[in-house]
Amino acid sequence: MALKALFARYILFQDINLLDTISLELSYILLFACLIEYIAKNKLKFPLYLMINLLLSTLFFGIAVYHSYFGNIPTYYALMQAGQVGAVKDSVTQLIQPEYFLLYADFLVMIGVLLTRKLPLYSNLKLSKTKVIGPILALSFAACLANLFLHKDEIITNSALAAETKGIFNFEALQAYYGPNGGLPQAAALTEKELKSEETIQDKINEIKGIKEIPDSERKYFGAAKGRNLILIQFESMQDFPIGLKIDGREVTPNMNKLIQNSFYFNNLYQQTGAGNTSDAEFIANTSLYPAGMVATSTFFETKAFPSMPKLLKEEGYKTFTLHADKVDFWNRVELYPSLGFDKYYALEFFGKEDLIGLGPSDEVMFNKGMPLLMDLHAKNKPFYAHFISMTSHHPYEIPADKEVFELPEKYKSSIVGKYIRAISYNDMVLGKLIDQLKAEGMWENTVLAYYGDHMGMHHTMFKEKDPEILKEFLGHEYTKIDRFNVPFVITAPGITDGGMTSDQLAGQLDMMPTLANLLGVSLNDYVHFGQDLLNHKENLIGMRYYMPAGSFFNDHIVFQPEKSFDDGEALTLETATKVPHAPYKEDYDRILKLLGLSDQYLKSLPEK
């Protein structure tokens, strides 16, 4: 088991350090072993050792697979969601490296021993409980406890670094102590006095962000699309760089490129999702609240009633529903959608199992079966808000040949980047078909259509040898974390966005909801939101955690990422990803930590649904 811990640390941290393994991991392994020796009878010892060995092997295996995609060390809570792996088995399978199976190599040896009976599976060596086992048990327990309490007041910003320097087992213990907020100190719910204070929660948010609230009557575009339908599309794994990209003179996204000419296009917007990934993006888009840190918001806050866009629009007479051709219990959406206040949700049971691609029915099926719902409400002159959640462009980006929209040059076809381009081109095609249908049914002129990417699609850990070079060829520069987290946000409102506006102002996913609310004339005066209306506020400060260490932020000039703390962090310019001194940005770091803490407190203070 100690050798497995050493091997796991090599897989995760690319370093074989026997001393670190002994000092950081061995105390927990000895604790498990001594408990078995102290409590179990002789006949039970081998089965118990076998069980612990299997559990630790599987733990290390799961952490390795998870880390290979996300770059994070999963918490015990994330590992408890392993039941969802079946829904994304194709993605997971491609992340498994052959060497991971060496974690189970000793079981093959044991099977050989069982079959040949040439070696005993356990010895008859008896160690004194009082003179040997007891003292080692006490020492190992004391070492585990000391290691835990030594680090319990430290802020964990980087999960991989924390697991490397504090120990894998100790990291999991610390996460159990910290709770779901990604290494920040536990946030207590706001008190009744704080909730009813003359200085509102929104006042505090605005003060921390340094923005001044603008009255609705003075806002640009406020109510310009009052009473129109809202169709919001969340495209799976969609980053900004494919928009406008040409390969051998051909557009990857011709429909999106054409649409942007008459849209508000925010091309400098960054993902802010947490461990809940796609479901966190749904949560952010509908609430303008930060998600939980190292756990999915939909599972950890499943009992809460979230303030949301669906609830605000229902007060305006809208019918609200969300459509996602997946199982509704995936990411606990069966609880998330009622918490967000949607009138109805349409999931796998509604869409059936025709035209399956990857995780489920294709996006063409989703839009085709969703259209009659829109047509019915349109015929009844009933305004609606429909939130479509795309799925076909999910990793590993395997689009069937008969669905291929963009014919790639041969040299790109086998690369993950090439597969991704084909998936995004498919997204473009289904969007074009939807627009044509809306126009044909007479809904286009009375609709606000908006779309955005939920999270990155191209992660460095999934690249093969030639992928970085292909991306460099497409982008004209090295692929960086700035490119990786940059997702598009496009709003089209015929008669309002005509002529188009491409904005490179800094934005985050938290800003989408306030911007749409402004256009629809929905006041947020009494609504707590951590984002801002992009049509009326220019300067911005956005935070991220989970995909980046807690305390990471984007401001108008740089992206900052801490390691253990602010002092050892790194700042890169947004324009060129050039490293610059980060000392001048300490105030922004402190402000982001305050915003994250306040959001956690606010979420805990929400009423039960």
pLDDT tens digits, 408-452:
999 998 899 999 999 999 999 999 999 999 999 999 999 999 999
- Integer Cα distance of 341 and 55 in angstroms: 40
Please name the residue that has the structure tokens 């699609």.
Answer: 457
Q: What is the pLDDT of residues 471-506, one digit of tens each?
A: 999 999 999 999 999 999 999 999 999 999 999 999
Quickly count helices (H) and strands (E) in the chain. 24, 18
Q: What is the mean pLDDT of residues 359-375?
A: 95
Q: What is the mean pLDDT of residues 185-207?
A: 83
So what's the pLDDT on residue 91? 57
Query: Residue 552 — φ and ψ, nearest 5°?
Result: -70, 150
So what's the pLDDT on residue 145? 84
- Integer Cα distance of 361 and 181 in angstroms: 34
CB distance 357 to 90 below 8 Å: no
- Integer Cα distance of 349 and 344 in angstroms: 13
**Which residues face 384 on adjacent strands?**
319
- Integer Cα distance of 448 and 139 in angstroms: 65
- Integer Cα distance of 492 and 497 in angstroms: 6
Q: Indicate the residue type of 53.
A: N
Q: Tell me, what DSSP letter sits at residue 306? A: -
Reading the block at residue 527, the tokens are 């609504």
Least confident interval from 30-44, 68-82, 356-370: 68-82
**Which H helix or E strand runs over 579?**
strand 579-580
Alpha-carbon torsion 487, 275, 187, 311, what sign?
Answer: positive
**Parallel, antiparallel or unpaired: strands 344-346 and 319-323:** parallel
Confidence of residue 37 (pLDDT cuts 50, 70, 90): confident
Q: Which residues contact 68 (CB under 8 A, 6 or more apart)?
A: 95, 97, 461
**Parallel, antiparallel or unpaired: strands 356-357 and 360-361:** antiparallel
Alpha-carbon torsion 521, 525, 526, 528, what sign?
Answer: positive
CB distance 225 to 460 below 8 Å: no
Q: What is the pLDDT of residues 511-570, one digit of tens each?
A: 999 999 999 999 999 999 999 999 999 999 999 988 888 899 999 999 999 988 899 999
Does the pLDDT at position 92 exceed 70?
no
Does the pLDDT at position 94 exceed 70?
no
Least confident interval from 42-46, 79-83, 259-263, 420-424: 79-83
So what's the pLDDT on residue 430? 97
- Integer Cα distance of 573 and 580 in angstroms: 7
- Integer Cα distance of 306 and 606 in angstroms: 7
- Integer Cα distance of 255 and 443 in angstroms: 18
**Which residues face 229 on adjacent strands?**
447
Q: Which residues contact 32 (CB under 8 A, 6 or more apart)?
A: 1, 52
Tell which wins on pLDDT, 62 or 574.
574
Does the pLDDT at position 47 exceed 50?
yes
Binding residues for Mn(2+): 236, 278, 454-455
Q: What is Dmax (Cα atoms) for the chain?
A: 86
So what's the pLDDT on residue 171? 84
Binding residues for substrate: 394
Q: What is the pLDDT of residues 382-399, one digit of tens each?
A: 999 999 999 999 988 999
- Nearest-10 crossing angle of helices 134-151, 26-39: 140
Least confident interval from 54-58, 76-80, 129-133, 141-145: 76-80
Q: What is the mean pLDDT of residues 176-198?
A: 70
Please pick, among 278, 287, 322, 497, the residue that the annotation labels catalytic. Answer: 278
Average pLDDT, rounded, for the chain? 89
Q: Tell me, what DSSP letter sits at residue 546? A: S
So what's the pLDDT on residue 293? 77
Q: Indicate the residue type of 47.
A: P
Does the pLDDT at position 311 exceed 90?
yes
Q: What is the pLDDT of residues 275-284, one digit of tens each?
A: 889 999 999 9
Alpha-carbon torsion 301, 307, 313, 317, what sign?
Answer: positive
- Integer Cα distance of 321 and 343 in angstroms: 6
So what's the pLDDT on residue 150? 80
So what's the pLDDT on residue 88? 47
Instruction: Please give the share of the chain, as a percent, with pLDDT higher than 90.
Output: 59
Query: Residue 148 — φ and ψ, nearest 5°?
Result: -65, -50
Does the pLDDT at position 339 exceed 80?
yes
CB distance 327 to 348 below 8 Å: yes
Reading the block at residue 608, the tokens are 């039960």
273 in catalytic set: no
Domains of the chain: 2-178 (no CATH), 192-605 (3.40.720.10)
CB distance 553 to 595 below 8 Å: no
Q: What is the pLDDT of residues 99-110, one digit of tens each?
A: 889 999 888 888
Q: Which residues contact 575 (CB under 8 A, 6 or more apart)?
A: none
Please name the residue that has the structure tokens 């005509």.
Answer: 498
Phi-psi region of 438 (alpha: psi -120 to 50; beta: other; left: phi over 0): alpha
Does the pLDDT at position 229 exceed 70?
yes
So what's the pLDDT on residue 119? 61
Reading the block at residue 221, the tokens are 């575009």
Report the first-to-last Cα separation within the chain, whole angstroms.
Answer: 45
So what's the pLDDT on residue 340? 97
Q: 396 preceded by cis ω (within 30°)?
A: yes
So what's the pLDDT on residue 358? 80
**Parallel, antiparallel or unpaired: strands 360-361 and 264-270:** unpaired
Does the pLDDT at position 197 exceed 90?
no
So what's the pLDDT on residue 86? 44
Least confident interval from 46-50, 54-58, 268-272: 46-50
- Integer Cα distance of 302 and 335 in angstroms: 6
Binding residues: 236, 278, 394, 454-455
